[in-house]
Amino acid sequence: MLELKDVHTYYGNIHALKGISLTVNDGEIVTLIGSNGAGKSTTLRTIQGLNKPRSGSVVLDGVELHKLPAHQIAVMGVAQSPEGRMIFPRMTVLENLEMGAYVRKDRSTFNDDLEHVFKLFPRLKERINQKGGTLSGGEQQMLAMGRALMAKPKILLLDEPSMGLAPLLVELIFDIIQEINKEGTTVLLVEQNALMALSIAHRGYVLQTGEIILSDDAQSLKNNEMVKKSYLGVE
């Protein structure tokens, strides 16, 4: 479904991605793990068109995304729940979710999709008229994911969905990610909680200073000595 081939992305003179190549197949959960500054978020931003690669290609279902502006990439079926949630704080929960559907051409199933989001995240229905900025951190994360789902994406990009959340909420969020995937949405997950990410992913890539140093199925990565020592806290 998605293929990055030899992608080089820069911030000014800073070489952030140094020849990234990866694939995400239809129906998979693929995770990118790595320390802060490894290039995980930059990879998602490059797919989304927010950072343009200086060289290399990003292709979704045969369409070259790297040649398109970000708003057209959103129309193509790429939706992101960004790091830090980035919800609209002065808009209500409902208005935030409506914004998620903004790029959709087909509005006929809007109400059904809204109910589906509320089924995944019942707390959002309880807070439907509440301003986004007054929600708890966990509720804001649910809203960011729900907003992305309202776009009916082919692929959902999740950037650090567990950041700043209590352990019980982290488990809930990861259960919901699995549920979203089982319902047919392909997921590319960036996550510092490598253990949780590898527990739900099919495959994974390890990024280090802008380069992929390891890729394998999730179970093999969990058992890899370097991964255990560097990212899972196992001595």
Structure tokens belonging to residue 146: 């729900």
Residues 6 or more apart whose Cβ sits within 8 Å of residue 165? 137, 138, 141, 173
Is there a single domain that holds both residue 57 and residue 159? yes
Is there a single domain that holds both residue 55 and residue 160? yes
40-93, pLDDT tens digit by residue?
Answer: 999 999 999 999 999 999 999 999 999 999 999 999 999 999 888 899 999 999
Contact 171, 165 (CB under 8 A): no
* DSSP sequence for 34-88: --TTSSHHHHHHHHHTSS--SEEEEEETTEEGGGS-HHHHHHTTEEEE-TT----
Is there a single domain that holds both residue 157 and residue 90? no
Is there a single domain that holds both residue 122 and residue 51? no
Is there a single domain that holds both residue 158 and residue 134? no
DSSP state of 143: H
What is the predicted pLDDT for the residue at 235? 64
Domain hosting 161: range is 1-77+153-235
11-27, pLDDT tens digit by residue?
Answer: 999 999 999 999 999 99
Is there a single domain that holds both residue 114 and residue 207? no
* Residue 156: alpha-carbon gap to chain centroid: 5
Q: The CATH number of the domain where 34 resides is what?
A: 3.40.50.300
202-224, pLDDT tens digit by residue?
Answer: 999 999 999 999 999 999 999 99
Is there a single domain that holds both residue 235 and residue 158? yes
Is there a single domain that holds both residue 210 and residue 198? yes
The secondary element (H helix, E strand) that includes residue 227 is helix 225-230
Is there a single domain that holds both residue 157 and residue 235? yes
Average pLDDT of the segment spanning 137-141: 92
Number of structural domains found in the chain: 2
Is there a single domain that holds both residue 26 and residue 47? yes
Is there a single domain that holds both residue 199 and residue 229? yes
DSSP state of 118: H
Is there a single domain that holds both residue 140 and residue 162? no
Last residue of a domain, one of 136, 152, 168: 152
